[in-house]
Amino acid sequence: IAYVVLAVFLAVTGHLFYLTLEQLTETGPRGISYPMEIMVGNVAFWLVFLFIPPLLTMRLFAEERSAGTLEMLLTAPVRDWQVVFAKYIACFGFYVLMWLPTLLYLPILTDWVWWTRTCNIDPWPIATTYLGLALAGAMFLSIGLFISSLVNSQMIAAIASLFIGLLFIAGYWLPEMDANELKYQIVFFFSVPLHFDRHFTRGLIDTRHLALYASVALFGLFLTIRSLESRRWR
């Protein structure tokens, strides 16, 4: 599953990078000011991104439960939090590994020369975008890990994680709202794609977004540890 996810992810990001280069060489109304908006501001990207955390986390504990190996793991001379953090760090490490090949795009984005056309791109929006992707991924993976610790079926874990993740993505497809409305402020606070559209891809860092990602990630890990501990009480 991991290799399939990696292949699909690289195919989609590669196509989006191609579209970005096309826009960089355009002039006039078709030109763009922030290249990363195409890379992570496309509907295809967020559809693929939505499925990545559930696919990576659905087996972490659900398979242990269904195979009957979770009890053996919990009786090993390790603490519950160590088991949770080991699985989480391994999963997050693979998530980071998925993004490493895209670093090959950076020399082209920052100093693109094609047919004597030169586009010197500010590297700061690229850095903030990668920072946001790392933290947002940490949040979604934590949610998926917690769901996987609750159920025996990998499919149920994937579907439940997908549904919860959709709550943080769905605001991207809602109709336009007045920015001064309270409803918009709530939607914007929880909508990850809007965070990238308005801030990260433009080189801006809003601490509210960082607080959301970090708090949800830590809370998800806390609930996962409590979920494992609850099996000892039964």
pLDDT at residue 113, rounded to an integer:
47
Question: pLDDT digits over 150-188, tens only?
Answer: 988 899 999 999 999 999 998 777 767 666 677 778 888
Q: What percent of the chain has pLDDT over 70?
A: 85
Rg (CA), the chain: 20
Going from the C-alpha of 171 to that of each of 139, 189, 200, the distances in angstroms are 17, 10, 17
pLDDT at residue 171, rounded to an integer:
76
pLDDT above 50: residue 115: no
Among 32-36, 41-45, 181-185, the least confident range: 32-36
pLDDT above 80: residue 189: yes
Cα separation of 191 and 170, whole Å?
7
Interval 42-69 mean pLDDT: 87
Interval 109-129 mean pLDDT: 65
Cα separation of 134 and 121, whole Å?
21
pTM attached to this predicted model? 0.87
**Using an 8 Å Cβ cutoff, are 13 and 102 in contact?**
yes
212-166-106 Cα angle (round to 5)? 70
pLDDT above 90: residue 92: yes
Comparing 52 with 107, the larger pLDDT belongs to: 52
pLDDT above 80: residue 4: yes
Mean of the per-residue pLDDT values of the chain: 83
Closest CA to 121 of 203, 231, 211: 203
pLDDT above 50: residue 59: yes
pLDDT at residue 114, rounded to an integer:
47
pLDDT band at residue 98, thresholds of 50, 70 and 90?
very high
pLDDT at residue 233, rounded to an integer:
60
For residues 37-72, b (16+ Cβ closer than 10 Å) or e, as one string?
bbbbbbeebbebbbbbbbbbbbbbbbbbbeeeebee
User: What letter represents residue 205's amino acid?
Assistant: I
**Using an 8 Å Cβ cutoff, are 188 and 171 in contact?**
yes
pLDDT band at residue 119, thresholds of 50, 70 and 90?
low
Question: pLDDT digits over 123-143, tens only?
Answer: 788 889 999 999 999 999 999
User: Cβ contacts of residue 209 below 8 Å, gap of 6+?
Assistant: 132, 135, 195, 199, 200
